[in-house]
Structure 1
Amino acid sequence: MTTELTDVETVHDERSWLFTARDPYGEPEEVILVPCEEGVEAWVNRCTHEAQQLDRGFGAAMRDGRIICPKHGSMFDSCSGYCDNGEAAETTLVSVDVTVEDGTVYLDDATYEFSHEGGADDDGDDDDDDMPSSTSHIGL
């Protein structure tokens, strides 16, 4: 089953587009869409050296067609996911299958089920509904 994600123009304009999917065990997995010469590629949002997010919710750092790990500076080719430098050298990001039709990007990977746009913590479920938004009502 394919799921519509966003359009190619948005990915190119914003440098990256973050979404969360569920893996086969139902666990959340963040995925980033990034521009490349061939259009758009999708990668699990995690550096191969450490479990560092490449996109922390405000766009992945990119330079010259490469995704930059914010922790150690390793640079991954946005089209192949391969890193040839830094702590993550000789590794490749985990790919996620997407397709593009008429400028729209679709999740096309049977391993993942789309959950929502944004990071795993951006699911719209406010776990603090029972807590006051401020403690200013407390008197001493």
Structure 2
Amino acid sequence: MSARMRLTSVETVHEDGSWLFTGRDGHGELEEVLLVPCEDGAEAWVNRCTHEAQRLDMGRGAAIRDGQVICPRHGSMFDSCSGYCDNGDAADTTLPSVDVATEDGTVYLTDDDLSYLHDGGIEESDRDDNNGPSSTSHISF
């Protein structure tokens, strides 16, 4: 589904601490993806805690400390490089990964099951159900 798509630079991910983009999966569903620093490159994870589907980055950057992404709701911490959590409510789970590659300081989306839409999180204009009237009823009292 997806060809190799340039996302951002490794430098940007490392300087900003995280980088968020929106894509569409093979089932047509919108998905936010979080790029986080990992060693000399970056790793990509679905932007959702495995415990209660809480967004890890709510549009202001993910909370990261000592190489771990912190869930803002319950404090579970996921290893930036492996996605694995060994504590809190999400213990013994791993964030769903998204395939990326780094080459010459650039991060590329290489996941065949995800199409890049835009930088940043999901916007109302991304939703397919946003094309009609906000109500199917035109009755007033």
Q: Indicate the SS of the match to 1:109.
A: coil
Distance 1:23 1:75 in 2: 25
Other-structure match for 2:13: 11
CA distance in 1, matches of 2:123, 2:75: 24
The amino acid across from 2:107 in the alignment is V
Q: Which amino acid aligns with 2:79?
A: D
Which residues of 2 match residues 87-106 of structure 1 at below 5 A? 87-106=89-108
Structure 1 residue 38, shift from structure 2 partner: 4.1
1:24 is matched with which residue?
A: 26
Code of the residue aligned with 1:100 in structure 2: it is T
Query: What secondary structure is seen at the aligned counterpart in 1 of 2:7?
Result: strand
The amino acid that maps onto 1:59 is G
Instruction: Give the partner amino acid of 2:51.
Output: H
What CA RMSD, in Å, does the superposition of the two structures yield over aligned residues? Answer: 1.6
Partner in structure 1 of residue 60 of structure 2: 58
Match of 1:41 among 23, 34, 43: 43
Q: Deviation at 1:121?
A: 1.7
CA contact (8 A) 1:116 1:123 kept: no
**Paired amino acid for 2:104:** D
1:122/1:39 CA distance change after superposition, 3 Å: farther
Deviation per CA, 1:10-66: give whole Å up to 9, x if none: 000111000001000211100000001141000000000011000000100000000
**Aligned-partner Cα distance in 2 for 1:120–1:35:** 22
The DSSP-based 3-state class of the residue aligned with 1:43 is strand
Alignment partners' CA distance in 2, 1:101 and 1:62: 24
Task: Could you list the structure 1 runs, at least 4 aligned residues long, displaced by more than 4 angstroms after superposition.
Answer: 122-125
- SS of aligned partner of 1:115: strand
Q: Give the aligned partner of residue 134 of structure 2.
A: none
Structure 2 residue runs of 5 or longer lacking an equivalent are: 131-141
Equivalents in 1 of 2:52, 2:37: separation in Å?
23
1:92-140: per-residue Cα shift (whole Å, max 9, x none)? 0000000011101000000100000000127589x7xxxxxxxxxxxxx
Gaps of at least 5 residues in structure 1 are 128-140
| TM-score (normalizing by structure 2) | 0.86
Aligned residues: 127
Q: Identify, as 1 or 2, the structure richer in helix.
A: 2
Aligned to 2:139: none
Q: Structure 1: how far apart are the matches of 2:9 and 2:112?
A: 20
TM-score (norm 1): 0.86
